[in-house]
Structure 1
Amino acid sequence: MRFTEHFGENYCIWELETKDPSMMMKARLNMLDLKVNFQEVTPRGGARWVAKPQPYFAESQRNFTIISGQTAYLKCRVHMLGDRQVTWMRVRDFHILTVGVITYSADQRFQVLHSTETDDWTLQVQYAQPRDSGSYKCQVNSDPKIARSVYLSVTDKSQLEALISMNFPSSENNGGYGTHITGGKERFLQAGSSLSLECVVTHTQTAPATVMWYHDDTVVDYDSPRGGISVQVEKTIDQTTSRLLLSSVETQDSGNYTCYPVLAPSASVSVHISNDELRAAVQHPEGVGAAAPSRGNVASVFTLMVVSFVFRCIEGT
Structure 2
Amino acid sequence: MYPRFAEPIPNVTVTVGRDALLACVVDNLRGFKNARISLSYNDHRSWYLHVKNVQEVDRGWYMCQVNTDPMRSRKGYLQVVVPPMLSIPNQLEGAYIGQDVTLECHTEAYPSSINYWTTDRGDMIISGGKYEAFPMDSGYNKFMMLKIRNITKDDFGFYKCIAKNSLGETDGIIKLDGNLYFTCFMFNLINFVWYSTQLRSL
TM-score, length-scaled by structure 1 = 0.37
Correspondence list, 1:270-281, <5 A? none
- CA positional deviation for 1:81: 5.0
Shift of 1:123: 0.6
Moved over 6 A (4+): 14-21
Alignment of 1:1-317 (within 5 A): 22-23=48-49, 38-39=58-59, 41=62, 43=64, 44-49=74-79, 52-80=81-109, 82-92=111-121, 94-98=122-126, 103=127, 107-117=128-138, 119-142=142-165, 143-154=167-178, 209-211=179-181, 260-261=185-186, 265-266=190-191
Change (3 A) 1:45 1:22: farther
How far is the alpha carbon of 1:140 from its aligned partner? 1.0
Aligned partners of 2:186, 2:83: CA distance in 1, in Å?
Answer: 42
Q: Where do 5+ consecutive residues of structure 2 fail to align?
A: 5-33, 42-46, 65-73, 194-202
Residue equivalent to 1:235: none
Q: Is the CA contact 2:95–2:181 (under 8 Å) kept in the aligned structure 1?
A: no
Q: Percent identity?
A: 13
- Assess if the C-alpha contact under 8 Å between 1:130 and 1:153 holds in 2: no
- Alpha-carbon separation, structure 2, partners of 1:108 and 1:260: 29
SS at match of 2:147: strand
User: Distance between the aligned counterparts of 2:132 and 2:164, measured in 1?
Assistant: 19
Secondary structure of the corresponding residue to residue 211 of structure 1: helix
1:3–1:63: structure 2 CA closer, same or farther, 3 Å change rule? same
Task: Indicate the residue corresponding to 2:23 in structure 1.
Answer: none
Residue type matched to 1:144 in 2? G
Letter in structure 2 aligned against 1:76:
C
Helix, strand or coil at the partner of 1:114: strand
Q: Which has the larger radius of gyration?
A: 2
- Following superposition, the deviation at residue 266 of structure 1 comes to 3.0
Instruction: Give the TM-score normalised by structure 2.
Output: 0.55
Query: Residues 138 and 148 of structure 1 are in contact (CA less than 8 Å); yes or no, is this contact kept in structure 2?
Result: yes
- Report how far residue 263 of structure 1 moved: 9.8
CA RMSD of aligned residues (A): 3.8
List gaps (5 residues or longer) in structure 1.
5-13, 30-35, 155-208, 213-239, 241-258, 269-317
Structure 2 CA distance, aligned partners of 1:73 and 1:63? 12
Q: Are the counterparts in 1 of residues 87 and 172 from structure 2 also a CA contact under 8 Å? A: no
Counterpart Cα distance in 1 of 2:88 and 2:54: 21
Deviations 1:134-189 (A, max 9, x none): 111001123432110111124xxxxxxxxxxxxxxxxxxxxxxxxxxxxxxxxxxx
Aligned-partner Cα distance in 2 for 1:59–1:3 = 37
1:27 CA displacement: 8.7
**Secondary structure of the corresponding residue to residue 97 of structure 1:** coil
SS class of match (2:113): coil
Letter in 2 for 1:261: M
Q: Output the CA distance in 1 between the equivalents of 2:81 and 2:3.
A: 24
Distance 1:79 1:69, change over 3 A: same
CA distance in 2, matches of 1:81, 1:91: 28
The one-letter code matched in structure 1 to 2:107 is: V
Considering Cα pairs closer than 8 Å and 6+ residues apart, tell me whether 1 or 2 has the greater RCO: 2
Equivalents in 2 of 1:267, 1:47: separation in Å?
Answer: 66
Whole-angstrom CA distance in 2 between matches of 1:265 and 1:151: 26
Residues 19 and 210 (structure 1), Cα distance of their counterparts in 2 relative to 1, 3 Å cut: closer
